[in-house]
Amino acid sequence: MTPENMKKVVDLCNQISNITYENLTKIIRLEQTGSATGARKLDDSDQNDIDSWMGGGTCFSMTWHLYQALTDMGFKPRLVMGHKRKERNIHCALILPDPDDSFVTPGQPFSANVSPASVPGSVLSSNSYLLDPGYLIFDPLQMPLPQPFGTGEAFFPLSPNCVRLVRPTLESMELWTGGAGAPMKLRFEYPVEGVSVEEFKHHWNESFYREMMTYPVLNRLDREKGIQYYYQKGNLVVRNATGSKMTKIEPADRVQTLSDIFKLSPSIIEQALQILEKKH
């Protein structure tokens, strides 16, 4: 990718890198509209307006914002879905092919179960990048090519979580993360061909009714300090390069503490918690 194009991508990623991953606004919008489609359309990222974002939204909101912004800039990003063991389409990200890139020549040797005609050219791009804002990865990660076309994997020493991308086949890629001496764990598997906008929005709608919408989930990365803050089910985890620490937040302190750490309005946090309490 030319330095000019890479700077555009990096600047865009930096612009959203301080945004909090949160399902609180998602909970509020579902309550307000009564339907996933209505809630999705109420999402500020659906109109590509990052400045009026109530918070950050989950991976769908953040990925959709990036998809629209990159498309407006003249790039051709692909929406990809992430699978976790038996759970399908529970995460999403983007693959950004280099517009100045070359492609693997179909005449080169393929694995026994893959024919050149069956693999779209975009899958064979020798220089593509993974953008995964929903997993707080705000750096464009160059994707490896599978053997025999490339090394099959690539390692990125990000802080506080290092990342490994593994490409077992042309059609698939795995995201592994770890930190502070902890073993790397497989997080998601991505079919790299991607999905249509219609299919992406279908999975976005389905996400409103998943189990994680029954409790608050917040996640924020302080890139300058290399610190990750993660809150779920009453527990706050703070992770840095040396390790992680878990603290239980008492209900009386919850609204103000979460507001201070995750940079969200206390009224949004309180409104979402009240909605959840009514449903239990």
pLDDT for res 57: 77
Do 257 and 242 contact (CB within 8 A), yes or no?
A: no
Question: How far is the C-alpha of 67 from the C-alpha of 73, rounded, in Å?
Answer: 10
Do 147 and 155 contact (CB within 8 A), yes or no?
A: no
Whether the pLDDT of residue 230 is over 50: the answer is yes
CA 192-45-278 angle, to 5 degrees, is 105
Whether the pLDDT of residue 6 is over 70: the answer is yes
119 with 237, same domain: the answer is: no
Structure-model confidence comparison of residues 2 and 52, the more confident one: 2
137 with 230, same domain: the answer is: no
Whether the pLDDT of residue 122 is over 60: the answer is no
Residue 161 covered by a domain? no
What mean pLDDT do residues 172-176 have?
97
Question: How far is the C-alpha of 52 from the C-alpha of 166, rounded, in Å?
Answer: 36
Query: Of 151, 176, 207, which marks where a domain is finished?
Result: 207
Residue 10 covered by a domain? yes
Taking only the tens place, the pLDDT of each residue in 129-151 is 999 999 999 999 999 999 999 99
102 with 200, same domain: the answer is: yes
Residue 176 covered by a domain? no
Residue 180 covered by a domain? no
201 with 275, same domain: the answer is: no
Q: Give the CA distances from residue 223 to residues 17, 20, 94, 175, in Å, rounded to whole numbers and listed in that order.
A: 8, 12, 20, 20
Whether the pLDDT of residue 115 is over 70: the answer is no
Taking only the tens place, the pLDDT of each residue in 85-107 is 889 999 999 999 998 775 544 33
260 with 200, same domain: the answer is: no
pTM score of the predicted model: 0.87
221 with 238, same domain: the answer is: yes
Q: How many structural domains comprise the chain? A: 2
Whether the pLDDT of residue 48 is over 90: the answer is no
- In this structure, is the dihedral angle defined by the CA atoms of residues 37, 41, 43 and 46, taken in order, positive or negative? positive
114 with 56, same domain: the answer is: yes
Whether the pLDDT of residue 109 is over 50: the answer is no
Query: Of 182, 207, 232, which marks where a domain is finished?
Result: 207
198 with 272, same domain: the answer is: no
225 with 88, same domain: the answer is: no
pLDDT averaged over every residue in the chain: 87
Q: Domain of residue 111: give its range.
A: 3-142+192-207
Question: How far is the C-alpha of 94 from the C-alpha of 206, rounded, in Å?
Answer: 19
